[in-house]
Amino acid sequence: MSATFMDRLVDRIARRPGGMIGRLLYRHPAGHKTSFDMTLDALGPTPDDHLLDLGCGGGVFLERVLKTGASAAGLDHSPDMVDESRRRNAAACAAGRLTLCQGDVGRLPFPDGAFTRVTALNAFFFFPDPQAAVAEMARVLAPGGRLAIVTTPPEQAAALKRYFGPVASRMRLDAPEVLGDWLRAVGLVPGTVRPVRAVGYLITARKPVMPATTGAVIEMPGFHGLITGRIGDLLVVEADVTGAIPAHTAQGAELVVVLSGELHARVDGTERVLRQGEHALIPAGASHGATVAGPTRLLLIGPPE
Ligand SMILES: C[S@@+](CC[C@H](N)C(=O)[O-])C[C@H]1O[C@@H](n2cnc3c(N)ncnc32)[C@H](O)[C@@H]1O
């Protein structure tokens, strides 16, 4: 069999499914059920959420998302898959709770921040430009939104070949560390990585409410901060504080150093006065806020909020 024939076969059954066999396979993607269960568990969509599923196939995962009360959109480059998704979820489409479109993940036809959840399940390994896809996912995700990708790591290449033969050699296998770096590069904060069945993993990430790239400015009433660097996943921020910082929850442990002035910090209800050169470590999950006695300059090291 020629490579061209194999390429066409892989397209037909997995990379751009179509025809009778392609349609049948993604009407009942039994092998993907675990990834659907785990993704729903990780992202916990609610009726307030608007979820985008990329490479949505026959729309089985979308059907489960809609059952949670969330609204959704699905995108796939296969016209037959878009049609299958539409048939399966006809009532939700008619009710305006689901929109479907044919398109490529490298150029999403959605405005910035349109979705609170974005998923790409068992499809990322076919996306031709993974970094462009990740950038698009980050762009359409709203601040505070979360994404989930289910894909396969390189060390599973041999097992994959045993299970999926010619399909396996046409999949790009990305290590979770590499994918994590791509997510960070577009301002997302990678979360957990969990194995999915024998050959896959689920990685989650969140879009911080505030910008998370070096050089970005964080502007809030009474607070002007500049992200001056990173230490691993932590941001280094230099900030001038002139007013009250309202109470908020620390996403992770956070170090506060007073460079000049005087900070009256409240951490979980306890007040502490910090003067020049003094510091406090805010534990992850603590509610904290502050007032200042006059203009105060701080160095903050912590995770993106
Ligand atoms: C193996 S199927 C998985 C379908 C579904 N997510 C599931 O888990 O059952 C991969 C899907 O990704 C779609 N796909 C692959 N590359 C794509 C791209 N560049 N843009 C949009 N969709 C793509 C394919 O058409 C196919 O429907």
pLDDT tens for 154-183 read: 998 888 888 888 887 889 999 999 999 999
Q: Which residue has the tokens 């997302």?
A: 188
Q: Whole-angstrom Cα distance, residue 86 to residue 82?
A: 6
C-alpha closest to that of 147 among 124, 168, 165, 127: 124
pLDDT at site 290? 94
Chunked mean pLDDT (size 10), the chain, 305 residues: 74 90 94 97 97 98 98 98 98 98 98 97 97 98 96 90 82 96 92 92 92 85 92 91 89 93 94 96 92 95 87
Kindly give the residue spans of alpha helices, DSSP state H, lying in 116-164. 130-140, 157-164
CA–centroid distance, 50 to ligand 1, in Å, is 20
What CATH topology corresponds to 217-302?
Answer: Jelly Rolls (2.60.120)
Residue pLDDT, tens place only, 119-150: 999 999 999 999 999 999 999 999 999 999 99
pLDDT computed for residue 2 by the predictor:
53
Find the helix or strand (DSSP H, E) in which 50 lies. Answer: strand 50-54
Best probe residue, ligand 1, of 53, 63, 77 (max atoms within 8 Å of C-beta): 77
Task: Give the H/E segment covering residue 185.
Answer: helix 176-185
Residues touching ligand 1 (Cβ under 6 Å) are 14-17, 26, 29, 32, 55-57, 76-78, 81, 104-105, 121-123, 126-128
Question: What tokens were used for 85?
Answer: 């998704």
Spatial distance between the Cα atoms of 269 and 179, rounded to a whole number of angstroms? 39
For a pocket test of ligand 1, which of 35, 126, 136, 196 has the largest count of ligand atoms closer than 8 A to its C-beta? 126
- Say how far apart CA 173 and CA 191 lie, in whole Å: 19
Q: Which strands sit side by side in the sheet containing 189-196, from one edge to the other?
A: 98-102, 71-76, 50-54, 115-121, 141-151, 200-206, 189-196
Domain boundaries 3-206, CATH class: alpha beta
Residue in this structure with the two tokens 């089985």, named with its chain if needed: 60
Ligand 1 centre distance from Cα of residue 26 (Å): 10
Structural tokens at position 53: 């599923």
Pocket test for ligand 1, best of 11, 24, 26 (most atoms within 8 A of CB): 26
Domain ranges of the chain: 3-206, 217-302
pLDDT for 104: 97
**Any idea which residue has 């430009």 for tokens?**
129
